[in-house]
């Protein structure tokens, strides 16, 4: 009594039919491609969906797979696997590539979001620090005499030179320098009392 075949007649016929269709697709026959698609697309899509868990991406992967089939059918070798194995290998590879691509995209987006967030935090910190320093300087300026505060403000807030300060206030140059230097010394001492060890420019 002969041993039974591992493939049922229907399965064998189906496999031979798919092999025949793939050979015809390799020859550029569009009708064969359509027939192959009708017989296999549901399972190809189903495998892609199991891997991706996303119907839209699974449909895109299935399209990519059949584009590969159309362009590479000539390379199919029946001795290396059945038509379904070949199709499933193509599908699994494309689906896994898509998973990795999506993961990389999410990681890039997350890194970008972190960088933007860090920039915002740095900007806020800088603004807060500037505000604190400005308020501190204003507070410390009140410890100066009116004339000292006037001279220091012209020199360090308005950016005037010693000579320009002297000319603006109608003073001799040595007197303007003395007021500015005296005001800076008192301002420095007041800021140190406020907890800042920064010297004005």
SS3 label, residue 29 = coil
Q: What is the mean pLDDT of each run of 10 residues along the chain (201 residues)?
A: 42 76 92 92 93 90 91 90 92 90 71 54 43 55 78 75 87 86 77 56 40
Query: What's 54-100 look like in SS3?
Result: CHHHHHHHHHHHHHHHHHHHHHCCHHHCCHHHHHHHHHHHHHHHHHH
pTM beyond 0.85, yes or no: no
pLDDT (0 to 100) of residue 149: 80
Structural domains of the chain in order of their starting residue, each with its CATH number: 10-108 (1.10.1740.10), 114-193 (1.10.10.10)
């Amino acid at each position: 009594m002969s041993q039974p075949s591992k493939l049922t007649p229907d399965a064998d016929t189906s496999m031979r039919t798919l092999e025949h269709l793939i050979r015809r697709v390799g020859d550029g026959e569009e009708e064969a491609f359509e027939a192959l698609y009708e017989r296999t697309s549901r399972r190809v899509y189903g495998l892609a969906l199991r891997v991706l868990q996303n119907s839209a991406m699974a449909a895109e992967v299935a399209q990519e797979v059949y584009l590969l089939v159309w362009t590479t059918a000539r390379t199919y070798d029946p001795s290396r696997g059945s038509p379904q194995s070949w199709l499933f290998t193509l599908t699994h590879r494309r689906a896994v590539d898509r998973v990795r691509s999506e993961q990389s995209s999410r990681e890039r987006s997350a890194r970008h979001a972190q960088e933007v967030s860090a920039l915002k935090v740095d900007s806020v910190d800088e603004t807060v620090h500037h505000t604190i320093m400005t308020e501190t300087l204003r507070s410390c300026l009140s410890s100066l005499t009116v004339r000292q505060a006037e001279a220091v403000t012209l020199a360090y807030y308005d950016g005037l030179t010693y000579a320009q300060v002297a000319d603006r206030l109608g003073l001799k140059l040595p007197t303007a320098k003395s007021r500015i230097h005296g005001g800076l010394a008192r301002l420095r001492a007041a800021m140190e009392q406020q907890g800042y060890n920064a010297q004005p420019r």
